[in-house]
Amino acid sequence: MSKLRLKISMSLDGFVAGPNQSVENPLGIGGMRIHEWAFALEAWRAQHGLEGGEVNESAQVMKESVENLGATIMGRNMFGGHPGPWDPNKPWNGWWGEDPPYHHPVFVLTHHPRETLVLEGGNSFTFVTDGIESALEQAQRAARGKDVSLAGGAKAAQQYLKADLVDEMELSIAPTLLGSGERLFEGLGDNLHGLELVRTVAAPDVIHLKFARQ
Amino acid sequence: MSKLRLKISMSLDGFVAGPNQSVENPLGIGGMRIHEWAFALEAWRAQHGLEGGEVNESAQVMKESVENLGATIMGRNMFGGHPGPWDPNKPWNGWWGEDPPYHHPVFVLTHHPRETLVLEGGNSFTFVTDGIESALEQAQRAARGKDVSLAGGAKAAQQYLKADLVDEMELSIAPTLLGSGERLFEGLGDNLHGLELVRTVAAPDVIHLKFARQ
């Protein structure tokens, strides 16, 4: 069965992005800090055409997190912080440039219709305006039996969690505070919607908690 | 040197107590859930006169957390949820009963003066009205070279963290959501005030993160 797998980094005080997010600073002030554990990895650097980097306990978690994925779902803000309807005169590609790191179909949750954007390297962005279930169905079809990655941000994650549609969650907690910004666990009430902790990996500058539907 | 050591359990969404705290329900709705890992331990049960229980990765963390302690500091709410000035006609002992589990001097942060309460088993509660530094000085003197435990709640923890006075923090994260209640990391800005992660212990129903001043 094709699973929906949420992978997200969070600060110790619960934020997945810092305050004052913008197109220039998509993760908000300080938001890069919760991803530092990843940027330091050889695996991450290689993915982005860079040499060097560390091999540590996070490497296996990162490897698993990209295995067997056939499609990705993300929120509008994660695609690009561009507010309001799409401007047909501005061929906005978010901040992913011409060759995004996905290499499979990406489905963007938005209220504003737009034609599918096809880029290099097997990347495409399809804009879904009829809700999270529709996006999941389209993504699962596109994934052809592989799993679907839920890439964030917070609001997209919350919607799928609330609907009990997340099958796995790899939550990477960075031992740092952001103080304000966008919280992951908000509006979800007092339960994890069927997810239970199944694995903990301690690594430099991060703790990876894997949750699965039991 | 006598260290100030904060030990506190927190939910995945950052709460150290649930909503609607009261004298009857000091941890708020659902608040017991973040302490379940401890209640299950043989070490905790023995401390409270109960038989049985588990021995797992949390046992060593719990053992360390009570070693070399000579005094405890806690907030007014943790001593007992009794609001307003102390009623001299009501010999309120908080919810600790006649034989609290401390067996050393406890200092309670409060705005309302009250005489020291001496109970069985080496327990005493001294009410400190002149601020957190004064409470720490008194506790360190009483501890006679041993460390001082900062037992909570959230507000007391925040005050000491903000003043850079916490030397160690053992943060036990329960993989559960409370949804609302009292947050540990609030008003602290975007830094851990000198504390850095030095150890992670994964145990059933909890992850223990130890921070120390570097």
pLDDT digits (tens, 9 = 90+) for A33-47: 999 999 999 988 887
Partners of A183 in the beta sheet?
A15
Structural domains in chain B (count): 1
- Specify the DSSP element, H or E, that contains A213: strand A206-213
* Owning domain of residue A48: 4-19+29-82+97-213
Calpha distance B171→B185 (Å, rounded): 11
- Beta-carbon contacts of residue A102 (< 8 Å; ≥ 6 apart): A72, A122, A123
- Beta-carbon contacts of residue B60 (< 8 Å; ≥ 6 apart): B201
* Percent of chain B predicted with pLDDT > 90: 72
Whether B134 maps to a domain, the answer reads: yes
| Model confidence, pTM | 0.92
CB contacts, 8 Å: A179 with chain B:
188-190
Q: What is the CATH number of the domain that holds B126?
A: 3.40.430.10
Whether B173 maps to a domain, the answer reads: yes
Asked if the Cβ–Cβ distance from A188 to B178 is below 8 Å, we say no
Whether B190 maps to a domain, the answer reads: yes
Q: What is the mean pLDDT of residues B203-208?
A: 95
Q: Residues B92-127: pLDDT tens digits?
A: 667 777 778 889 999 999 998 989 988 888 899 999
Give the closest residue to B67 by CA, choosing from B17, B7, B122, B14.
Answer: B7
pLDDT of A92: 62
From the CB of residue A61, how many other CB atoms can be counted at a distance below 10 Å?
22
CB contacts, 8 Å: B183 with chain A:
13
ipTM: 0.90
CB contacts, 8 Å: B189 with chain A:
177, 179
Whether A89 maps to a domain, the answer reads: no
pLDDT exceeds 60 at position B203:
yes
Calpha distance B158→A118 (Å, rounded): 50
Whether B90 maps to a domain, the answer reads: no
Whether B36 maps to a domain, the answer reads: yes
Q: What is the mean pLDDT of residues A72-87?
A: 77
Please give the DSSP secondary-structure letter assigned to residue B186: S
Whether A24 maps to a domain, the answer reads: no
Calpha distance A143→A124 (Å, rounded): 13
Nearest CA in chain A to B186: A179
Whether B91 maps to a domain, the answer reads: no
pLDDT exceeds 80 at position A86:
no
Taking only residues 2 to 21 of chain A, the set having a beta carbon closer than 8 angstroms to any beta carbon of chain B reads: 12-14, 18
